[in-house]
Amino acid sequence: MKILKKIFKNSRSSQDGIFFTEIEEVIGFKPNTIAYYEKAFTHRSTNRTDVKGNPLNYERLEFLGDAMLSAVIAAHLYKEAPAGDEGYLTKMRSKIVSREHLNELGRDLNLIRFVDSKVPTQHFGENIHGNIFEALVGAIFLDKGYDFCQKFIQKRVIIPYVDIAKLEGKVISYKSLLIEWCQKEKKSFHYDVFDDNGNDGQKYFGVKLSIDNKIVAKARATSKKKAEEKASQRAYFAFQEKINKK
């Protein structure tokens, strides 16, 4: 612990207890070991290591937080949806802990203000918000144990965001939904992905989505996955009446 404190002693966030106070406001209780939380907001670009050469960044805490979120959400759904079978519960949990939703949680708490990085914040990908939210959950578990972790998730995730009735109609992936419909209706589909670089120096990917050899949607985004999802969403709204037809 002394090593961690030494590493973080020059952190602007930690000076004069500001970081401690702000983290306390976010999590709702006093931390025992502030170093866990400092680690939860340390980006790998800092290249920090402990005395054994192990990396000191939020990625391992992100893994732990993901597991804790899944466990707490699973227990909540098991209790609140007694008629739901395994498939239903799995699908509902996926909607709650989707990357999109975790990013929303991180943005709402403005967690990015705590990140210590050598990379400018404007260069971070969108998933940074969800990643550090998961890392924060992992830090809470290590610092305070399961009960405090469960209370934090209940307060910050379940109460304000988990409405089972609304989640039942929430689409996780338009691409998955569209592919499922095409397979059910025996329609052929194809995603044609190509580089579509703009004039701003940012790399983009273009996508043309064809169904039964006819282009039905086009999209452009900073990753192939995002471009395919955006094209799928546009195709979904074009075929929504047919897709939702019982």
Q: Residue 16: its pLDDT value, please?
A: 44
204 or 168: whose pLDDT is higher? 204
Question: 159 and 178: one domain?
Answer: no
Average pLDDT in the 157-181 region? 82
Type of residue found at 8: F
Q: Residue 200: its pLDDT value, please?
A: 60
CB atoms within 10 A of CB 138: 26
- For residue 91, the enclosing domain spans 2-168
d(CA 27, CA 155): 9
Question: 127 and 17: one domain?
Answer: yes
Question: 9 and 55: one domain?
Answer: yes
Could you list the residues known to form a binding site for Mg(2+), using ranges: 62, 131, 134
Question: 63 and 140: one domain?
Answer: yes
Phi, psi dihedrals of residue 218, rounded to the nearest 5°: -130, 150
Question: 199 and 157: one domain?
Answer: no
The angle subtended at Cα 221 by Cα 218 and Cα 226, nearest 5°, is 90
The per-residue pLDDT for range 59-109, each reduced to its tens digit, is 999 999 999 999 999 999 999 989 888 988 988 898 889 888 899 999 999
Of 113, 136, 168, the domain-final residue: 168
Is residue 171 predicted with pLDDT exceeding 50? yes
Is residue 143 predicted with pLDDT exceeding 60? yes
Confidence of residue 142 (pLDDT cuts 50, 70, 90): very high
Question: 117 and 10: one domain?
Answer: yes
- The question of whether 85 is a catalytic residue gets the answer no
173 or 189: whose pLDDT is higher? 189
**Choice among 22, 38, 59, 66 that is catalytic:** 66
Q: Residue 117: its pLDDT value, please?
A: 93
Average pLDDT in the 17-32 region? 92
Q: Residue 201: its pLDDT value, please?
A: 63
DSSP secondary structure letters along 180-215 = HHHHHTT--EEEEEEE---TTS---EEEEEEETTEE
The domain that contains 86 carries what CATH number? 1.10.1520.10
Q: Residue 7: its pLDDT value, please?
A: 43
Question: 110 and 227: one domain?
Answer: no
Could you list the residues known to form a binding site, using ranges: 62, 131, 134
Total domain count for the chain?
2
Q: Residue 198: its pLDDT value, please?
A: 62
Question: 71 and 192: one domain?
Answer: no
The domain that contains 225 carries what CATH number? 3.30.160.20
The per-residue pLDDT for range 1-11, each reduced to its tens digit, is 444 444 444 44
Question: 37 and 64: one domain?
Answer: yes
- Structure tokens belonging to residue 209: 């989505």
Question: 157 and 182: one domain?
Answer: no
65 or 185: whose pLDDT is higher? 65
Of 168, 203, 220, the domain-final residue: 168
Confidence of residue 199 (pLDDT cuts 50, 70, 90): low
Of 136, 168, 200, the domain-final residue: 168
Question: 115 and 217: one domain?
Answer: no
Average pLDDT in the 137-143 region? 98
Average pLDDT in the 128-145 region? 97
DSSP secondary structure letters along the chain = -HHHHHHHTT-GGGGGGHHHHHHHHHHSS--S-HHHHHHHTB-GGG--B-TTS-B-SSHHHHHHHHHHHHHHHHHHHHHH-TT--HHHHHHHHHHHT-HHHHHHHHHHTTGGGG-B-SS-GGGS-TTHHHHHHHHHHHHHHHHH-HHHHHHHHIIIIIHHH--HHHHHT--S-HHHHHHHHHHHTT--EEEEEEE---TTS---EEEEEEETTEEEEEEEESSHHHHHHHHHHHHHHHSHHHHT--
Is residue 34 predicted with pLDDT exceeding 50? yes
Mean pLDDT (the chain) is 87
Q: Are 74 and 143 in contact (CB under 8 A)?
A: no
Q: Are 105 and 127 in contact (CB under 8 A)?
A: no
- The question of whether 134 is a catalytic residue gets the answer yes
**Choice among 38, 116, 134, 143 that is catalytic:** 134
Question: 14 and 63: one domain?
Answer: yes
Q: Residue 162: its pLDDT value, please?
A: 87
